[in-house]
Amino acid sequence: MRVLPCSPLPVLLLLLQAWETQLQFAGPRCRTGPLDLVFVIDSSRSVRPFEFETMRQFLMGLLRGLDLGPNATRVGVIQYSSQVQSVFRLGAFSRREDMERAIRALVPLAQGTMTGLAIQYAMNVAFSVAEGARPPEARVPRVAVIVTDGRPQDRVAEVAAQARARGIEIYAVGVQRADVGSLRAMASPPLDEHVFLVESFDLIQEFGLQFQGRLCGKDLCAEGGHGCQHQCVSSPGTFHCACNAGYQLAADNKSCLAIDHCSFGNHSCQHECVNTLGGPRCHCREGHDLLPDGKSCQARDLCNGVDHGCEFQCVSEGHTYRCLCPEGRQLQADGKSCNRCREGHVDLVLLVDGSKSVRPQNFELVKRFVNQIVDFLDVSPEGTRVGLVQFSSRVRTEFPLGRYGTAEEVKQAVLAIEYMERGTMTGLALRHMVEHSFSEAQGARPRVLNVPRVGLVFTDGRSQDDISVWAARAKEEGIVMYAVGVGKAVEEELREIASEPAELHVSYSPDFNTMTHLLENLKGSICPEEGIGAGTELRSPCECESLLEFQGRTLGALESLTQSHILWGWGRPLKGRGPGGPPTPNGFLNHSLAQLMARLEELENQLATHK
């Protein structure tokens, strides 16, 4: 047996007084009707003096919470080691003071640990009518509380089963070194309510609260002293601790620890996982916004979140943004406005995706979007000419550049377009535009007039054919290319189609219903560069200056042809007419050219006279 270090007597008494004070359980004494209660106390030599004092004070603390009396709760106490000794029987005392006096006078037996023998004594003697127990027909509950600190030296399972069979409810309380298996063999079911392993003084007090609650039916949570950090959940005769949402119970069954949901590794957050009371939450780094899926992050578009004031286009750059102007216009000193684009003339061909993925209702939105572009164009034969090509698995010219002379006519033609459906052959559409749409036969103005040629491709998905060759060819032909993507459009393809820089020539909208915001980007983008198409009025071919210019170009061309011997008879008497027959082909050509020259000289003279 280990020896308890000696302590000065005054200190020991102070400690015992403090423990006794704590064990005076709060609240009124319980009044639940009659009860026969026997305490079976282990006083073997393995129980050190200081530990025995702890059990003594604990026992007296329990008495203070009971309603004692001949017709209420009767209490008896026995102690055991190698033998069993009755401290006082059930019918001996009815006053608490008398019971406490007898408990204070207890002297430990300090021998072996015959727990089975003690249970046998309690069953046959302590709970007998002769010792003060009420007869079985009175149906008074019989309860035994066994307090031990070690392993029994005899068998307990069989005798404990006999005691339980006789209606004795057994609580097994182990102190420090007690054998848990033996405790479970002795106790009544359910074991989690009848077996207690006391490792500290606080747990002794906890058992007292629970035992008193079972006997008295008290709300142990309301009584206090439960030690639960968050919540105390009361049940008949007992309680357990619970934690708030987002926390879990610690090993001591009282404290609560925050649940680290992020450590589970299944949060799927793109940037950062943050623990909250409701579970894991994803958080994005600065400059990014959380997408609707609650996991993915997207770089914040400051242009959509602030009143940027850019006249033409706003471009987000990390934590800031900058304004851009369309090609041919310069950003002003305020960093927002653009110098005004001079009035000019443009040949504009729209390539509109009519594939199956667009769907009919969205195709109507596309047509409305095209008409909004037409609204800010100066559509006229001398101003801007508009043509439209629809493509899917094939290409169809809806109307060429030279067909309509007013914006209203163009808009009516757009509304009348029928949806094609099927595939997405963007490369085929680009080829058609380059080879046909900008030809003079389709209404494009001659290159000599330097009228800018602009192509605008509108698509919602990936092309099913190669676009690289004809996208490059379009730009080689001097066509300024714009690419507008919606939904599942592929950014790489949009950039390949568009002219440089891509920031000014590529636009994107995630949805057909929100693509109208692209109008501000496109508005003003179609701005002619320097040349006859920009800032130079196109004269009517019937005006004098136009005729003189045409005459000069024609004479120069004829002279070049003559020098190349193509017009061999130029300036000579006509030949090639057979006797009495029609002129030969060469003679007819020379004759016609001579008439043309004469007419040009006549017009020139008339102009000179008019002036």
Provide the pLDDT for residue 341: 39
pLDDT higher than threshold 70 for residue 323: yes
Range in 12-16, 202-206, 537-541 the model is least confident about: 12-16
Q: Helix, strand, or coil here: 77?
A: strand
In sequence order, the 6+-apart residues with CB closer than 8 A to the CB of 445 are 345, 347, 385, 451
> Once rounded to an integer, what is the mean pLDDT over residues 417-436?
93
Q: What residues contact 236, with CB distance under 8 A and at least 6 apart? A: 214, 217
Q: Specify the pLDDT at position 272.
A: 87
Give 328-372 as a DSSP string. Answer: T--B-TTSS-BPPPPPB--EEEEEEE--TTT-HHHHHHHHHHHHH
Could you tell me the two tokens for 123? 């069953």
What is the pLDDT at residue 398?
A: 95
Question: Which pLDDT value is given to residue 553?
Answer: 57
Q: How far apart are CA 522 and CA 373, in angstroms?
A: 8
- For the chain, give the percent of residues with pLDDT over 70: 72
Expressed in percent and rounded to 5, the helix, strand and coil fractions of the chain are 35, 20, 40
User: pLDDT higher for 526 or 155?
Assistant: 155
pLDDT by residue (tens digit) across 54-91?
Answer: 778 888 888 887 888 888 899 999 999 999 999 999 98
pLDDT of residue 489: 86
Higher pLDDT, 215 or 246: 246
Residue type, 473: R
Residue type, 485: G
Q: Residue 473: in which H helix or E strand, if any?
A: helix 468-476
Judge whether 321 and 315 are in contact, CB under 8 Å. Answer: yes
Q: What is the pLDDT of residues 566-610, one digit of tens each?
A: 444 444 444 444 444 444 444 545 555 666 667 667 766 666 665
The closest of 162, 222, 157 to 185, measured between CA atoms, is 157
How far from the centroid of its chain's Cα atoms is residue 118's Cα?
65
Query: 20-47: string of b/e by CB count within 10 Å (b at 16+)?
Result: eebbebebebbeeebbbbbbbbbbbebb
**Number of Cβ within a 10 Å radius of residue 296:** 16
Q: What is the pLDDT of residue 568?
A: 45
Confidence of residue 455 (pLDDT cuts 50, 70, 90): very high
| 491, 459 contact by CB (below 8 A) | no
Nearest to 50 by CA among 179, 171, 173, 149: 149
Q: What is the structure's pLDDT at 432?
A: 95
pLDDT at 219 over 90: no
Of residues 201 and 69, more confidence is placed in 69
- Residue closest to 376 by CA, chosen among 404, 411, 327, 337: 411
- pLDDT value for 561: 53
